[in-house]
Structure 1
Amino acid sequence: MARLTVPEQDARLTVEAAVRRALRAAGVPTPEVLEVGLLPSGRAFTVDTLAGGDGSRPSPAGWADLGGALAVLHALPHSGYGLLEDRADLFQGLACTPADGLRTRLEEVWPFGTTGLTGHPLIVAAPDLAGPLAGLEGDLRDVIGGRTALCHTDLHGEQFRWQAGRLAALLDFGDAAIGPPAWDVASLAYFHGWPAAVEVARAAALPCGREAALFGLLLAFHRASRAVTLNRPARTAEAVTFARGCLARLAGARSSPHERPANGA
């Protein structure tokens, strides 16, 4: 069966289709793109196959499947930083620098936004975090540099379909962006917890240590800002809890800047 999708807001449907086609060609399960076009009204649409799944929970093998899928995504040729230009011929970020790239995707993230630390919604909700986070400013600036990957960036539960605990489909690349691979590890930790992130990172041959925890703090800032924009206080509390967890992981991590992948490779 096929599904017609007409986004309510502007979306990068052309590049999303290109990402999915590249992943399918490499064996990653994701719905097949049948058509991308414009309606008479000028609104963009896609027609693709329906994503399968039986509603099961991911098994350890399923998390490993996801790790393999992310390894393929991260290895796709790309250039630039941030959200992708809406084109089919290459994966090009909208920005020329890591900081500008981060700003194309994340909302008011300290220390890259216009809001100071003490005025940020995350700190307004939890003032005791100001001191520890201030001491990490240099680390937070550094973590977005270095190696880049084409990242999914938004790995919440609705982005997957599972069949008997195995990955049946990876969905929605509309927010795909170029940045550090730790972005996806931190996103998994935010939505599914650190144990799941460790399993996926191991399968993807990615570190799940200091870099992931630092990028997790950036996600906490973003989520707290979004909570205010959307007027959802519970999400602010969620962001605070995650930030505390990231700080705890940093406190327990080794100080060496040379992290090893979760599988020791």
Structure 2
Amino acid sequence: MTANPRQKPVFRFAPSPNGPLHLGHALSAFLNRDMAISVGGRFLLRIEDIDLTRCTPELEAGIYADLEWLGIDWERPVRRQSEHFAEYQSALERLIDLGLAYPAFMTRGETRTLVAAAEADGKLWPRDPDGSPLYPPDDRERSDVDRRQLLASGLKHAWRLDMGKTLEALGEALSWEETGDADRGLIAANPGAWGDVILSRSDAPSSYHLSVVLDDALQEVTHVVRGLDLFHSTSVHRLLQTLLGLPAPVYHHHRLITDAGGRKLSKSERDTGLAELRGRGLSPTDIRRLVGL
């Protein structure tokens, strides 16, 4: 399924309200808004709040205040992921019915322990493009009887995509159109490098991968403009789009804003937020200059 060529271009800025926006977010918001204006397109704001433990109404309100201060306007209403869990669940059930997803019972601690033990024995554990160890095969290789018993027991579990089975069933090469700051043109996707990606957790009814492709399709997003740190994740997104019959946007992965040591700015590292910069007397023009626009 491909995008309608007559459709008006649609861009979106999709922050998570789990910390204050920083300069990296400002760059992405400016680029999405500016690119939408340049082609006579639409600009949407989406609140990605599937993590109900870290996302708060106060931080969401801060996003609106920061964008308004920057002079960025968006279409209403705003799509909030926490209001669409049923849609994500429906997509997950489709993948389960296709036999492409399995329940994963190992906790993060158990996974870390298993991987650490294997590496201590000199084994090379495969890692994804972000450097994280791939999920162990134990749950994927369980018998149907064992799975049913564990599910019936009420044991907490996630759902993961059986990457090997999925790629075998797909039987086709995937790619995406890229217009960003690194590689450009038609990019060959390599979803297998990510192993059995997570689709939902016991504490979150959807993963980033699953929810983002559904949101983009349901909002008719034609151009995904986001940071280079998500470049390789596009392989997974193209796989899920193909499995679920969703359109493929054009992707534009832009440069990242880094600190003096070259580290990408991060909410988790409590990097200086836009609200603090505003409190210091900086103007929206100053922010554009700081992010190189």
TM-score normalised by structure 2 residue count:
0.28
TM-score normalised by structure 1 residue count:
0.30
Larger radius of gyration: 2
Higher relative contact order (CA 8 A, sep 6+): 2
